[in-house]
Amino acid sequence: MNPRFSLLLLTAFLALIQPYSSDAKPNFVLIFADDLGYGDVGFQEGDVATPNIDSIANNGVTLTDGYVTCPVCAPSRAGLLTGRYQQSFGFWDNIGPYRVNKEVEPGIPIDLPILSERLKALGYTTGIFGKTHDGDSEAQMAFNRWDEFYGFNNGASNYLGDLNREHNPIFHNRTIVSQTYAKRGIKQGSINKQGVLVKDLENHFTDQLGDMAAKFIEKNKDEPFLCYLPFNAIHGPFQAPRPLVEKYAHIKDEKRRLVMAMLDSMDQNVGKVLDAVRRNGLEDNTVIVFLSDNGGHEASPNKPLRGKKGTYWEGGLRVPFCVQWKGKLEAGKTYSYPVISLDIMPTFLSAAGGEIDPSWKLDGVNLLPYFTGEKKGRPHDSLYWVWGARKAIRHLDLKAVTQDDGATWQLYQLAKDISEEIDLAKKRPEKLAELMGKHRKWESTLMPQQWGWKKDLGFKDPEFGKPKPYHAPGYF
């Protein structure tokens, strides 16, 4: 055979197998639901069929004791995106009108790299599709910290972006793609009838997020990518397209009916993203993670957990959490040692071949060797929480919690009492004191709260809740 022809054949063969090489950087799909309860999903006996979300659990690892760092959205998201307890950089609360002084810029500091920036340094293309609530200075905006951004920057959005007010538009990168109904003289009541969306359903926001994320995967299929999909479902306002609401017409509770329709819609759009991964032959080289930012709200079941969003009971902090990496992680596995959203950063960086610099002070750990059995024991002996008057620590299988700034504490053995019904504080005072001491030591390392909704922080921002300069047409 002609040597030159043989070389061409070898080159072509290597080009074909390279994407499937064990040395190829994996892709990452991170799906973050909003206010989804522990008992909402099908793989945890929820009352809404969620086959696409369930497939992630069925094809991978279900984390029964998966936690987030706060029972409300913005601090929880800051912990996930930085790999650090958010209080370590002053991010204790949702972004509000108060701060310690006018120089403070609420949000994740721009000199603290987030997940997208860590992975971009490793050659990844990054996209975020959905809700960001990480700071509203121009430098902190997602269009400056991700390669592609489609979504909004606020605590909540309507499920038709044109229902939002001007200070809360829908962006595609730096371009505002929503136009308020009010500005066009259209009455919202003709669009949204008590949560039932009856017009412009082709612009349903959950569908748009699924579509945009799937397009991003298609566009970047030949290079490593991070696709971050922080849905605003099933956060309020409770709104869903009429056909989906009618599907649940048999549900008497109006709020629950709407939320079930919202969850159904989110699952369908998770399906679009999973299909894009499969269709492009990426499934064996893509890590897919699904979790919620905190526990479920008042119209969302957290069974068998106690409490809900905003509380430090398990129902506020423990969330649906599963990980899939076909060919690398055993399908259908259950992992029951405690893990936390802080672990996502080091897990992704390690899978991508990156090195964790101790100076980054990450609080999470790489979970992959624990899932594969390479490492035995627990990823964490202790996990910590503090938010306002609420404090908690889980040490091994014991949890100490206070809802009143330490005036009273309760102690629970979670391995035997997942619903936190039997308070052991009086029976095991020495153990409770030990956990309280651990929490005090951890809390002493944190930066004081820098902003939020507490008036006693000091300075009130007169521009809070108003449109920013970058909201103006033609600003860029």
DSSP 333-354: EEE-S-EEGGGHHHHHHHHTT-
Whether 431 and 312 map to the same domain: the answer is no
**On the CB side of 458, how many CA atoms lie within 13 Å of its CA?**
9
460: in domain:
yes
Whether 198 and 229 map to the same domain: the answer is yes
Whether 262 and 402 map to the same domain: the answer is no
Range list of β-strands (E), 187-305:
192-193, 196-197, 225-230, 240-241, 286-292
Whether 454 and 432 map to the same domain: the answer is no
Number of domains in the chain: 2
Whether 346 and 422 map to the same domain: the answer is no
Euclidean distance between CA atoms 111 and 426, whole angstroms: 46
Site of tokens 């119209």: 299
437: in domain:
yes
Q: Are 344 and 115 in contact (CB under 8 A)?
A: yes
Q: Could you report how far apart the first and last alpha carbons of the chain are, in Å?
A: 59
CATH of the domain at 430: 3.30.1120.10
Whether 40 and 95 map to the same domain: the answer is yes
Give me the pLDDT at residue 327, please.
87
Euclidean distance between CA atoms 419 and 399, whole angstroms: 12
Range(s) of the domain holding residue 403:
381-445
CATH of the domain at 35: 3.40.720.10
93: in domain:
yes
Whether 63 and 124 map to the same domain: the answer is yes
Whether 420 and 333 map to the same domain: the answer is no
Closest CA to 282 of 291, 294, 273, 271: 273
Report the DSSP beta bridge partners of residue 399.
394, 412
Q: What is the mean pLDDT of each run of 10 residues along the chain (476 residues)?
A: 44 39 82 97 96 98 98 97 98 95 96 98 98 95 98 97 96 97 93 97 98 98 98 98 98 97 98 98 98 97 96 98 96 97 98 97 98 96 96 98 96 98 98 98 97 94 94 91
Euclidean distance between CA atoms 415 and 398, whole angstroms: 8
pLDDT tens-digit series, residues 215-252: 999 999 999 999 999 999 999 999 999 999 999 999 99
Whether 280 and 425 map to the same domain: the answer is no
List phi, psi (to 5°) of 211.
-65, -45
Supply 357's token pair: 């610099």
476: in domain:
no
Euclidean distance between CA atoms 418 and 46, whole angstroms: 17
Whether 387 and 243 map to the same domain: the answer is no
197: in domain:
yes
15: in domain:
no
Q: Are 119 and 126 in contact (CB under 8 A)?
A: yes
Whether 132 and 197 map to the same domain: the answer is yes
pLDDT tens-digit series, residues 330-384: 999 999 999 999 999 999 999 999 999 999 999 999 999 999 999 999 999 999 9
18: in domain:
no
Whether 334 and 399 map to the same domain: the answer is no
20: in domain:
no
